[in-house]
Amino acid sequence: MHAERFLAAANACHPLPADVAWEAGVLLTGDGLGVPYHTSTKIASPGIQTVAIFGVGPIGLGNVLMQAHLGRCVIAVDVSATRLAIAKNLGASDIVNAKEVDSVAQVRDLTAGAGADACIEAAGRPETALACFAAGRTAGTVVFNGEQGALPISPSGQFIRRDITAVGAWLYHFSEFGPMLDLYRNGLRVLDLISHRYPIADAEAAFEKFASGQSAKVLLDYQ
């Protein structure tokens, strides 16, 4: 989509309601909130009260915002102090810097030894994927958001004997746009996912900021 214009079928386009800002629309219909919303449908059980999110880049931060809005206790795990601070502002109950502590042990400490009800992998790294299995409670759920290759997973050790459910969530369903709009209209702080704004003339600086890992969503303004 790094083009000034592109062609899309009309039945693949959402009309943007008049009460929804362009900035909110691009987050609602993209990975910023689309993936976190679709992820939330995978872990909708009312028994899920504690969610650990491993990796709080832009999609991970969207998960923090979504799960906190749903009233859950959110534990954000990352190696970036900047992004952990953003996660705290978006509603994380606790933050864990994996550079400083054993993230799995810390999540278990924060959940009285039981482990999180659900763990979301949003970093796309083998070590965080395996940490999700280790940090989740027995009969808990692991959701994969981060793209990555093959992992050394044991069906017995990580699934069967711990009664774990693991699912993937990618993009969102077209029919989910309406419910996402309802959340936005009812107070979901979508625009707080934007940490930096640049005019299109400063696109190079914007991409450098995003690539540095010291931002949430970076907005390019064409106006």
Tell whether 191 and 141 lie within a shared domain: no
Q: How many domains does the chain have?
A: 2
Q: Name the DSSP class of 50.
A: E
Q: What φ, ψ does residue 132 adopt, rounded to 5°?
A: -60, -40
- CA–CA dist 52, 19 (Å, integer): 33
Question: Structure tokens of 57?
Answer: 């880049």
- CA–CA dist 76, 35 (Å, integer): 17
- CA–CA dist 192, 89 (Å, integer): 9
Tell whether 150 and 179 lie within a shared domain: no
- For the chain, 223 residues long, give each residue's pLDDT as a single digit of tens: 678 788 999 988 889 999 999 999 999 988 889 999 999 999 999 999 999 999 999 999 999 999 999 999 999 999 999 999 999 999 999 999 999 999 999 999 999 999 999 999 999 999 999 999 999 999 999 999 999 999 999 999 999 999 999 999 988 999 999 999 999 999 999 999 999 999 999 999 999 999 998 999 999 988 7
For 215, the domain range is 21-27+174-221
Q: What φ, ψ does residue 152 adopt, rounded to 5°?
A: -80, 85
Distances (CA, A) of 22 to 18, 65, 182: 10, 19, 16
